Amino acid sequence: MDDLHIRRDRKAGRITFTRPQTLNALSHDMALAIHAALDGWRDDAAVALVIIDAEGDRAFCAGGDIAAVYHGGKAGDHGIGQRFFADEYRMNAAIRDYRKPIAAFMQGFVMGGGVGVGGHAGHRVVGDTTQIAMPESGIGLIPDVGGTWLLAHAPGRIGEYLGLTGARMGAGDAIHAGFADLYLPESEWEGAKDRLAETGDISGLKGQTPPPAPLAASDLSAFGARSVADIRAALEKAGDAASLKAIARNSPLSMAATLAMVRAARGDRRMQESLSREYRFTHRATAEGDFIEGVRAQIIDKDRTPNWSQPGDAAKVDAMLADLGAEELTWEEQA
């Protein structure tokens, strides 16, 4: 397909995002193609490892291509989004559980759906242009694609901070927070990929000393408060104007749900549990959440003034995360 270049390269399976003009946004068809490629290489003895990368300097993948989800939901067809999210999450889980090494080289923007691809690889390489974030609360969604799982396993209260503010992480912070593994100057990436394809030996992928991680020295204790309202109060007391400004832009429902989901994910044994919980929210997002209004304001009309209508109270969060019954996300376990 035009949006991905999927091929065999010596001892490697290669997946390259090839739509830099859209910041390599991930479509439904792309998610299906990535999953199919991984399935095809799983038992192929000639493929020792997988390399995932992207064309363009600006982004590895800046998120999901959600225009179709928006237009479908606005027209009352909520199945478009539901099918996309279900297939995307199954692909995310396939990357995390893959038996062969996967190396992801993530430059520029890595957000939302991009984290769902690169963030679950076993060997995640970042460089000086890398900016990783989960900004979904700004469009009335939640950190999905396994984002709540990653946030839950970040040190201290970094998970709550990133999920509620949508703050971006450079290479040092991404490694500290558990969203990446290795720092390597981007001028050396092509050589590293060439060696991986030639040798099929992931042990040859070595990183260098990463840049500083400002988050490691940040006082994020306010984000340990019980609720979003309590977090706001603690931030006001601490005089953290930057975090307050970020939170003020985002959907109250999305932030309340994110807070609950990140904390719940700390008790999950497998990422699939977190993904299933995320799917309960995203399954309902176009019909019962703030997603349509958030996408309208941020992406369609670009007026940046969403009119959030959904409450961020416990009853609404519980309703968005309630069991879906027959619509629950199911998993095909790989032997």
Task: Give per-residue burial for 10-36: e unless 16+ CB within 10 Å, then b.
Answer: eebbbbbbbbeebbbbbbbebbbbbbe
Q: Give how many domains the chain has, as a whole number.
A: 1
- pTM, full prediction: 0.97
Domain containing 85: what range?
Answer: 4-319
Specify the pLDDT at position 332. 74
Q: Do the domain assignments include residue 329?
A: no
Say if CB 310 and CB 330 are below 8 A apart: no
- Residue 64 has a pLDDT of 93
- Asked whether residue 33 is assigned to any structural domain, the reply reads yes
Structure tokens at 202: 């992931």
Give every strand in the sheet of 59-61, ordered side by side. Answer: 59-61, 109-111, 131-133
Place of tokens 């430059």: 107
Q: What are phi and psi of 159, to 5 degrees?
A: -60, -45
Residue 335's pLDDT is 40
Q: What is the pLDDT of residue 333?
A: 63
CATH of the domain at 163: 3.90.226.10
Could you please report the per-residue DSSP string of 53-71?
A: EESSSSEEE-SB--HHHHH
- Cα 300–324–257 angle (5° rounding)? 55
What is the model's pLDDT at position 1?
Answer: 75
| Residue 48 in domain | yes
Residues of the chain short of pLDDT 70, as ranges, are: 333-335
By the 10 Å C-beta count (0-12 exposed, 13-18 middle, 19+ buried), 56 is classed as middle
- Whether 150 is in a domain gets the answer yes
**Residues pairing with 4 in the sheet:** 17
- Domain assignment present for residue 335? The answer is no
